[in-house]
Structure 1
Amino acid sequence: MNQKDWNTRIQIIDNFKNETEILSENSMGIYIEFCSDNSLVIYFKPLNEVFIDNIFNENTGVLINFERDLIDEDDIEFALDIFSLFNKYPQFYINNTAEVDKITQLILLLKEEYQNKKSSYIMFKTLLKVLLLYLIRFQNDGFLKQDLNQKRVFQFLELMETSFLTEITTEFYAEQIGISSKRLNQILKEKLNLTAKQIIQQRQITEAKRKLIKGEITTKELAFYLGFDSLSSFSRFFKKNVGVSPSVFKKEHSF
């Protein structure tokens, strides 16, 4: 992957401001704030959310923003760990000197690779994965009291990630979580500004795009893989959400 392609899927921005334009709503963001007492505050922007307004102050920081399909390229277990990392808490603190040094060094390596004219996508992806794995390790459940509704959002996202190919009704997910469909939609609207159906459809579109770009199956096979009863119904759904037909999208993104 060349540097031009990176610019559509990855951003690294120093001293990020809230008004700065970032990648799509379907992107994930990490803002690392460097505090004067040699500690770090890690803020997360999960899918379909924004950073909290009060994180930007006189302290320096760096934003790492990337499209979710970078996570989808890896195995499902890693993806679920990342969604857990991003959805448990909006922020956590790192005060241990050795841990701060590890994160700081990884950020420097990521920035160096990102800015390198001969940058390697594989190298960058590996460094990003190592950073995320360290953050998973360092995240401590004792830092913040978990919000019950935030926990339910995470339960929904985790369950959807493993079930969206076969289960697309709000009722199924609400029953698994132990609340009503109405209450689930209220929580998702409050936290993500989307209903369960909209989030599931967004996940279907992301998966469809990924499969079309890889070209491993035909469009008809993809339609049935995603649970549609016909190619025409899938094509209408895809065009309504993406703006072009699956065949046009595939042609535009073929290598």
Structure 2
Amino acid sequence: MKNWKDKIHLDTTFKSKPLFVSDNAFGLFFEMEKKRCVYFKPLNESFSSSLHENSKGTLLYFEREFIEEDDEEYALDILSLFKRSPEGVFQITAKEFPGIVMVLDLIEEEYNTQENAYLILKSLLKVLLLKLIRQLHNGYLKQDVHQKRVLLFLQLMERHYLQETSGGYYAQQMGISEKRLNQILKDKLELTAKQVIQERQVTEIKRMIKQNAITLKEMAFYFGFESLSSFSRFFKRHTLKSPSQFKAEFEP
């Protein structure tokens, strides 16, 4: 694939906290010298606050489509890995550590190869992620018809979450009842449709506040809230901070 380096980035000389990578990218930061742990950046979010400014390690991030092109059967495992990891970080066991280092070395070798590295990189990234999934979740999610339903819901939600915030809309599009959709999502993601949609709204609000492109009042109406106060209550309920408090953290 041409321009494959636009979809995956590797930095083995990183010596400070990775404050920003693409919103539409998963991020991994391997701190291998002292703690021997890995930090996660889910889609549309930031790295864990426990990742310090003076951390040294390997930074790897990859666009969502890089893994979804032909690995759909593992997509939920990967989403689960990034979303449900405790505090966005976990310790790599002594048993798994040598294998993780070996795969990272192979990824670095292929990343620095200018030609014909795309398919090999995808395969190595899959091995790396499956190793992390195996350690954190003690196995892989059971493959069944509901996997595809969850993925369909997530794809629909990504396109419509600004306009459609009711689980009933997505259930109708999928040809199942809202009750059944919530049962499937609770089983696979431990969240209802409304909770997933609200999580996505909150992460997008955070991203827009960081960009500081529009006012909080404009943002409230952009997300369909009737007033700035209702928008503020919604954000604080999910983050324990008001939008203005969150915004102040990113002002010089």
Verify same fold: TM over 0.5.
Answer: yes
Question: Could you say which residue in structure 1 is the equivalent of 2:113?
Answer: 116
- Flag structure 1 segments of 5+ consecutive residues without an equivalent: 142-156, 196-255
The answer to whether residue 71 in structure 2 is matched with residue 107 in structure 1 is no
Q: What amino acid does structure 1 have at the position aligned with 2:204? A: N
Separation of aligned partners in 2, 1:109 and 1:102: 11
Instruction: State the 1:42 CA deviation.
Output: 1.0
TM-score by length of 2: 0.58
Quick check: 2:67–2:122 contact (8 Å CA) kept in 1? no
Separation of aligned partners in 2, 1:16 and 1:84: 28
Question: Could you say which residue in structure 1 is the equivalent of 2:16?
Answer: 17
Distance 1:75 1:116, change over 3 A: closer
TM-score by length of 1: 0.57
Alignment RMSD (CA, Å): 3.2
Q: 2:166 aligns with which of 165, 171, 176?
A: 171
Distance 1:57 1:80, change over 3 A: same
Instruction: State the 1:110 CA deviation.
Output: 0.5
Q: 1:131 aligns with which of 128, 131, 134?
A: 128
Instruction: State the 1:189 CA deviation.
Output: 4.1
Instruction: State the 1:64 CA deviation.
Output: 0.7
Instruction: State the 1:161 CA deviation.
Output: 1.9
Question: Number of residue pairs matched?
Answer: 172
Q: 1:60 aligns with which of 51, 56, 63?
A: 56
Question: Could you say which residue in structure 1 is the equivalent of 2:240?
Answer: none
Separation of aligned partners in 2, 1:108 and 1:101: 11
Q: What amino acid does structure 2 have at the position aligned with 1:95? A: T
Question: Could you say which residue in structure 2 is the equivalent of 1:74?
Answer: 70
Counterpart mapping for 1:1-255 below 5 A: 1-2=1-2, 5-14=3-12, 15=14, 17-18=16-17, 22=21, 24-36=22-34, 40-89=36-85, 90-96=88-94, 98-140=95-137, 160-163=150-153, 169-172=164-167, 176=182, 181=194, 186-190=198-202, 192-194=203-205
Runs of 4+ residues over 6 Å off in structure 1: none
Deviations along 1:153-181, one digit per CA (max 9) or x if unpaired, are xxxx9965233567754322786158695
Distance 1:35 1:77, change over 3 A: same
Q: What amino acid does structure 2 have at the position aligned with 1:77? A: E
Quick check: 1:103–1:131 contact (8 Å CA) kept in 2? yes
Quick check: 1:30–1:42 contact (8 Å CA) kept in 2? yes
Question: Could you say which residue in structure 2 is the equivalent of 1:199?
Answer: none
Distance 1:19 1:83, change over 3 A: closer
Q: What amino acid does structure 2 have at the position aligned with 1:128? A: L
Question: Could you say which residue in structure 1 is the equivalent of 2:219?
Answer: none
Separation of aligned partners in 1, 2:196 and 2:68: 25
Q: What amino acid does structure 2 have at the position aligned with 1:129? A: K
Separation of aligned partners in 1, 2:156 and 2:49: 37
Separation of aligned partners in 1, 2:114 and 2:192: 51
Distance 1:111 1:119, change over 3 A: farther
Distance 1:17 1:160, change over 3 A: farther
Separation of aligned partners in 2, 1:171 and 1:68: 25
